Amino acid sequence: MADLTEKNLAYAFAAESKAAIRNEAFAKKAESEGYTQIAHLFRAISDAESVHARRYLQLMRGKIGSTEENLERAFENEINANVEEYPKLIKDATDEGKESIAKAFSRSRDVESGHADLYKKAMNHMLEDRETDYHVCQVCGFVSEDAPKDNCPVCGAVKEKFTQVK
């Protein structure tokens, strides 16, 4: 595949991924304002954008490997985000006096290290053929194995702020 086409696939993947997340956020806002039909529309379009993003990702060479390769790549990405990416984002926000944004970046960094641990455990679980339930804190993104504790260890959110991943 030509280099320009690969670059365009990466661009389209990023754009569709962002659109899916943005529309999901719009749906949550519409729902909170009582516009259930508009929320439903935003969720439908979010799902459609996700279909596009997944298709582009499948077309990109070398982006999806075996499950073992994908776990290893995901683990490495989380470590990179934790060690390389978030420290710079936190520093820039702090330098600009944007403490609430620096705090959001810090929480994300902390959650990323937990994601890396989960990927590492999952590699072992593959060998054991073990099933695990996961719950996600809807405030900071922390992922809890089996059942959430009374409070999120990263942001302190109560257990009710966790949703189970099906």
Q: Are 163 and 135 in contact (CB under 8 A)?
A: yes
pLDDT digits (tens, 9 = 90+) for 92-145: 999 999 999 999 999 999 998 889 999 988 887 777 777 788 999 999 999 998
pLDDT digits (tens, 9 = 90+) for 49-100: 999 999 999 999 778 888 889 999 999 999 999 999 999 999 999 999 999 9
- CA–CA separation, 145 vs 123, rounded Å? 15
What integer pLDDT is reported at residue 63 of this predicted model?
84
pLDDT digits (tens, 9 = 90+) for 4-44: 999 999 999 999 999 999 999 999 999 999 999 999 999 99
Domain 132-166 is in which class? mainly beta
Q: What is the pTM of this model?
A: 0.75
- Mean pLDDT for the chain overall: 92
Enumerate residues 6+ apart whose C-beta is below 8 A from 102.
90, 93, 94
- CA–CA separation, 11 vs 34, rounded Å? 34
What integer pLDDT is reported at residue 106 of this predicted model?
96
3-59 homologous superfamily: Ferritin, core subunit, four-helix bundle (1.20.1260.10)
What integer pLDDT is reported at residue 1 of this predicted model?
58
Enumerate the H helices of the chain as residue ranges: 3-32, 36-59, 67-80, 86-95, 99-128
User: Radius of gyration of the chain from Cα atoms?
Assistant: 18
- CA–CA separation, 84 vs 49, rounded Å? 29
